[in-house]
Structure 1
Amino acid sequence: MKIMQELSSNTDLALRFRNYVILLDRLMREVEEELQQNQSVRNEWSEWHSNWKNAWLSPTGNSPSSNLKERFSVKRRLG
């Protein structure tokens, strides 16, 4: 009888451990997926920001951005 109780408690412990590992595996997959999505969003924002910055800083003559640059220029406000 005592041997059966020990086997039963070992089996319960093994099942609890297995369930814990399954839960951790699921959580790790969800976190990894979320990190990949966040990386995608960061890359998209970085590309947009780089394009915006390049367009804003590019020295073109009569582009719409040059009109905006003049309109919102710090030098214009101070002068």
Structure 2
Amino acid sequence: MAQPASFDWLAKVNNRPWTAQLAMELLPGNNGPKIEVFRGSVVVTPHAGFDHQAIERELAYPLHRAARRAGLWCYAELVEAE
């Protein structure tokens, strides 16, 4: 039986804080887990399935309405710029 892919080799390749550019250069592209760089660390999360997407859609409207009543905005996603 094949071993699952491992990202353990990354610790040997990079011993400094991660950047988005470094991640794009070193990490393999994939259609599976979501790979993000957050405050210098690599965060890997499972790909969101249909149930996750449905819940996200159901929550968006009430959160948006509550935010607008408070004079705020609600965004589905935020992207941190460097």
Fold-level match, TM-score > 0.5?
A: no
- TM-score, scaled relative to structure 2: 0.26
Structure scoring higher RCO (CA < 8 A, sep ≥ 6) equals: 2
* Larger-gyration structure (1/2): 1
Whichever structure has more helix as a proportion of its residues is 1
- TM-score, scaled relative to structure 1: 0.27
